[in-house]
Amino acid sequence: MNLSDLTSINELSPDAVAEVLDLALRLKKEQKAGKEHPILKGKTLAMVFEKPSLRTRVTFEVGMQQMGGYALYLGPSDIQLGVRESVADVARNLSRWVDGIMARTFSHKTVADLAEYAEVPVINGLSDLEHPCQALADFLTIHERKGDLRGITLAYIGDGNNVANSLMLLAARVGTSFVVACPSGYEPDQSLWQSAKVTGETTGSRLLRVEDPREAVREADVIYTDVWVSMGQEEETDRRTRDFQPYQVNSELLRHAKPDAIVMHCLPAHRGLEITDDVLDGPQSVVLDQAENRLHAQKAVMGLLMG
């Protein structure tokens, strides 16, 4: 893969996406069979966290260990990016000690600046604009459940947030149609939407925004939702809860969808808000498969960037 960093799905060509997913499938198969793959033996990943996470920390740390490397956790109090030290200076220093940097930040600019000044690969573990590793794990899961990604439809219900942004960019690259149902004012990033539409014209991916979630799920093979209130938006809880109430993924909404549609959520979930217990824990849910595939997709990304 001819790529130095992964800060955005926009950096991945359709061929690069296929390369990541193919390697992820191979590494997953080998891991299940107990076969070692020390492709990052002796390599070190610095994990920079401005906000906490269960799945991101565990999957990157375990993934490095499984590939023969080492992951170093750097929490909010360890670095204080842009406070104790500039992002550029942190990037330059880390480049002298480690072989790769994963950053989970509030501002996307922080990830972009790390990539600009670091001399080692930088991976976006989440920013306010994108969540590319989540999207890759999700499409790995969809591929396992639905086969060919081209020609299927993903319906995203709720807030057009960082996860939605990365999902639509990746859908456009693999030929999956993307329908988002959200209230006015909560749409995905407009510039990324236009970018995805341009890409979709070459792959056959159709992008559509609607306000009625029932319309969105009618032809969907995949139904996806995420929290209505992300970290840093707590002051907006009352307004967001009110605005998104009609967008709950529940059994009534599933009655309007294909009977074999799968339900996805990147977790953690606010049970009883954006999704109900019976759906989250029900037979159509693949949320634990998604969570597991964070490990395998990220191992593929690290292997291709740092190997």
214 part of the active site: no
- Of the listed 57, 173, 294, 296, which one is catalytic? 294
Contact predicate 249/263, CB 8 Å:
yes
226 part of the active site: yes
65 part of the active site: no
Contact predicate 253/217, CB 8 Å:
yes
- Of the listed 99, 108, 134, 182, which one is catalytic? 134
212 part of the active site: no
- Of the listed 266, 290, 296, 298, which one is catalytic? 266
Q: What percentage of the chain's residues is helix, strand, coil (to nearest 5)?
A: 50, 15, 35
Contact predicate 224/157, CB 8 Å:
yes
- Of the listed 108, 131, 265, 296, which one is catalytic? 131
Q: What is the DSSP letter of 103?
A: E
Give the strands of the sheet with 177-181, arranged side by side.
207-210, 177-181, 153-157, 222-225, 262-265
End-to-end CA gap in the chain: 11
- Of the listed 57, 104, 240, 265, which one is catalytic? 104
133 part of the active site: no
- Strand, coil or helix: 48: strand
- What b-and-e string marks burial along 42-80, b requiring 16 or more CB atoms within 10 Å of the CB? ebbbbbbbbeebebbbebbbebbebbebebeebeeeebe
Classify residue 15 as exposed, middle or buried by CB count within 10 Å of its CB (0-12, 13-18, 19+).
Answer: exposed
298 part of the active site: no
- Of the listed 133, 159, 226, 290, which one is catalytic? 226
Contact predicate 189/165, CB 8 Å:
yes
Query: Per the structure block, which two tokens stand in for 210?
Result: 């609607």
- Which residues have CB under 8 Å from 80's CB, separation 6+? none
User: Cis omega before residue 268 (within 30°)?
Assistant: yes
Positions marked catalytic: 104, 131, 134, 226, 266, 294
